[in-house]
Each structure stands twice: as C-alpha cells, then as structure tokens.
Chain A
Amino acid sequence: MPLVNIKNIHKRFGDLEVLKGVDFSVEEGEVVCLIGRSGSGKSTLLRCINMLEQPDEGVIEVFGEDIVHTKDINSYRAKVGMCFQQFNLFNNMNVLENCVRPQVKIHKTPKDEAKNKALLYLDKVGMQDFAHASVNKISGGQKQRVAIARALCMEPKLMLFDEPTSALDPEMVQEVLNVMRELANEGLTMIVVTHEMNFARDVADRVVFMDDGVIVEEGSAKEIFSSPKNERTKAFLSAFI
C-alpha cells in the first residue's frame, strides 16, 4: 500500500486546466522529485496533497485515508510537513516561537517540551544560535532552514517541498539542500518540487517529469537524466545540461 496514492486528479482554475488527469503514488521512505517547466502543474499537484488546493475530480489517499472527503483536515495536515518557496515564517514570532507555537496549539504539547523539541530541530538545521532572532533579520537560506525545523517539530510522516530553493540567492541554495539531503538519508518520505537538477539526480529515488498538466515520464534519477525516453523530457533536460 503506497503512502500517497493519487488517481486521475483534475484541477481547474477557471478555464485553465492545470492538472489533466494525474496518477501518482509515493511509497513510504521514498524521495520523489517533481521536475518540469513553470506552469506544468507540479506545484498544484503538491498543494493538492495537503489540500491547499482542492482537486475538482479524482481520488487522493494518504496514509490510507481519503483526504479529499475527510472531515478532519487539520489533524491530517498536522501529519504532513510543508515548506514553501517564500518560507512563510510567521512574522509576528521569533525563530523559536515559530517552532514552538504550532506544537503547543495543534498538538497541545506542553510548552517546555515543545521548546526542547524546537531547539533540537533548530540544532539539526544549524539554526540553534538564532533561536531568539527575529525572522526578519535572518537570511533567506536561514529562513528556509527554520521553516524546515518548524515542519519537523510537528513530527510529520511526509514532507512536501514546494521549490524550497527557488527564492534563494545561489550561495544559500546549498545550505538548504544539505539539510534536505540529511532528511532524505534518514528515511523521511519526501516529495520535492525543484529546479535543482543536481539535487534530484543525487537524492531522488524517483524523478517525475511533468508537462502541461500531466506526468510525461517517471523513473529512477538515472533513467530520467541519462536516458530519457520521451521527446518532451529530452527537450526540457537539454536546457539544463
């Protein structure tokens, strides 16, 4: 039984059909990278997995649960971590509070325990020294690492990354990718929308190429990058190599 099981989902924004019947599944412990042009529907697919976008048709089952029709979406989302392109750290809280408040509010964790866990994960992403810094005074790469720590504090069983490095200056991309690499090595199930082809090649168990609202080709990183079969995949990848 796959952890994530998506069957034939469609998503329209007005007249624009962004997802045109996507079938997609992810096994437990797998790291899947979604690649493709901007506007190909990768981010929409990712956002559908925690229902930030609601599909118009189709089935999404995660942890064996039908999440399109679930009544308790909040406790489902608490099990799925998400990192955004723009980090979206809470501006009204410092670094530590960003990690503590969600645990206290959602999991009802006692404050001390939440704080210890927050410091543990901040340390893991190398941000413990900045625990009391304002989120407006740290760099983009640091923000994204804090955002990852914030998500990890919720002990997610699945992590979604929506172009986590696209808004970063080049010199900050690696510090974020290093953290993600570490998580992948620890066996966390991850779905990553990315334009970092080297990261996808190194880390992904499976690479999925999307174009124009459908999955065109998928396979191991080696298959996709070394011997893509589809013309569209070839055209896309040739732009990167």
Chain B
Amino acid sequence: MDRFIQNILKILNTYGASLWLGVKTTIFVAITGTCLGLILGLIVGGIRAIKLDYNASKPAKIGKKIVDFLLNIYIAVFRGTPMMVQALFIYYLLLDFIHWTYLQAAIVVISVNTGAYMAEIIRSGIQAVDVGQSEAARALGMSNWQTMMNVVLPQAIKNAFPAIGNEFIVNIKDSSVLMIISITELMFQAKSIAGSTFLFTETYFIEAMIYLLLTSIAAFILNAIEKKMNNTNISLPQSVTAPENLAFARDNTERN
C-alpha cells in the first residue's frame, strides 16, 4: 500500500504537467463538443419538429420530407455506431481533402456525434411543450419560424436542460475514445505515462480519479444552474385556488 501511494506521488510529481495538459484538452473537447453539438441538435431537432402549414406549397412539402429523411439517417448513423469508429473513419476520410489536425478532427467528431443525441433530446423537449403554446402564437399571427424561436424552443431547452447537461458529463468521459486519433486528452496522456513508467495500476487509478473529479464538478454546477432556473420560473402544475392567488383575485375584483 505504501508503495502504491509512493508511486502515485511519483507519477504526479514527474508527469503532473502532461496530466494537466490532458485535463485541459479533455475539458476543452468536452465543452466545445457539447456546445457545438447543442447548436447542431437545436437546428436538426427544430427542423424535424416544424410542421409545415396546411397551405404550404407542394415543393416545400416534398422538400421537407427529403430533409427529414436525411436527418433521420444522420441521427441513426451517429447514434448507432461507436464514436471511436466515427473518429477514425471521418479523420481519414477527410484527411486528404482538408489536411486537418487531430484536435480539429476530434472536435468535429464529438460535435457531430453529440448533435445526433441532442437532436433527439431537443425533439422530446419540443414535444413536451403544450400544443396550446404554439397554437396561441399562430393565432396571434406568428409564422412557423417565429413560433419556434420565440415560444417553443426556449421552453423546449428548459425542459431538456437536465438531459443536455447529462450529455456534457457523458462527453467528459467519452472523449477518452478520441485518443484513437492521438489527441492529447487525459486518456491518451495516461496511456503514454503508463507505457513509459510501467506503473499501470497507479496511472489508471489517477486517471479514474481525475475523471471522477471532473464529472462530479460538472454535475454540481449543472445542478446549481437547474435549481436556479426552476426558482426563477416555476412551471409545475399549480392550483388556481391556491390561497395567494385567491387573494390577488379578490384585490382585483374589488378594484373593478
């Protein structure tokens, strides 16, 4: 046991800088991947959720069908294959054309992968928005697009926030598979350290602890944000006969 701790300290001492680089890369990839993935998911989920007007032209209706079909394929492919395979395939597929770096490729892969999951998350978030909300917006004269942007999506994002946050935590962990295209994230760094010190157990123990720490911090922050969101705008079902509401009503009836 003493040796185990000594070895851990030794690794931290000697390889602290490269572990720190790994942590920074992992966080960077996870954050950018989640943000870009969310944007992609909003676009894809939004497009899939838009219902064309009854009076939309025939080409528009056919076009929408084709777009929906392509988006479904995108989602099925990226949710149905391992990210490690996606990383390798996309990196080498595009290498000849754009000569990109490993890190650029990693960010693209994790964003596109996350986007597929986010699209489904956003879609279920949209479905959870009361249909009366968009009906009221349309009745006021808002277009499909205005209704989506002003009324439906803001509520859908709020509904989906826990799931979106969860994707971020998943990305912190799953970015480890991107070591396969040699980006210097935590997993890659740990593997190199283990390879040169032959202290496998100790190194991977440190790595696991760092991942645990990162995900715990992320979960803590996400929880705090979620609580704050719920405090500012309660959307739970609420009885209209709650005493304070009755008091409001009484005030007003008197004034009238």
Contact = CB atoms under 8 A, between A and B. Distances in A.
Interface stretch (A16-24, A110-118, A138-146, A191-199): A138-146
B148 to A, nearest CB: 12
B63 interface: no
B155 A84 contact: no
Interface string B201-239: 000000000000000000000000000000011111010
B235 A139 contact: no
A84 B136 CA distance: 8
A90 interface: yes
Interface stretch (A169-177, A207-215, A229-237): A169-177
A230 B139 CA distance: 35
A55 to B, nearest CB: 11
Given A54-B54, A168-B240, A175-B252, A92 B155 contact: yes
A77 interface: yes
Interface residues of B, number: 37
Contacts of A69: 55
Given A91-B235, A106-B141, A141 B249 contact: yes
Given A92-B158, A140-B240, A150-B140, A101 B248 contact: no
Interface string A81-124: 01010101111100000000110011000000000000000000
Contacts of B256: 126, 175, 178
B145 to A, nearest CB: 10
Given A136-B238, A139-B245, A171-B249, A88 B155 contact: no
A3 interface: no
Interface centre among B139, B151, B236, B249 (most CB of A within 10 A): B139
Interface residues of A, number: 49
Interface string B76-103: 0000000000000000000000000000
Contacts of B238: 136
A151 interface: yes
A74 interface: yes
Interface in B128-146: 130, 132-133, 135-143, 146
A127 B256 CA distance: 11
B253 interface: yes
B234 to A, nearest CB: 5
B230 to A, nearest CB: 11
B249 A86 contact: no
Contact of A101 (B53, B150, B155, B232): B150
B234 A136 contact: yes
Contact of A77 (B141, B234, B246): B141
A134 interface: yes
A139 B239 CA distance: 8
A71 B55 contact: yes
A79 B141 CA distance: 8
Contact of A138 (B146, B241, B245): B245
Contacts of A44: none
B142 A74 contact: yes
A91 B141 CA distance: 18
Given A54-B54, A105-B150, A139 B140 contact: no
A5 interface: no
Interface string A45-71: 000001110100000000000000111
Contacts of B155: 91-92
B240 A52 contact: no
A105 B249 contact: no
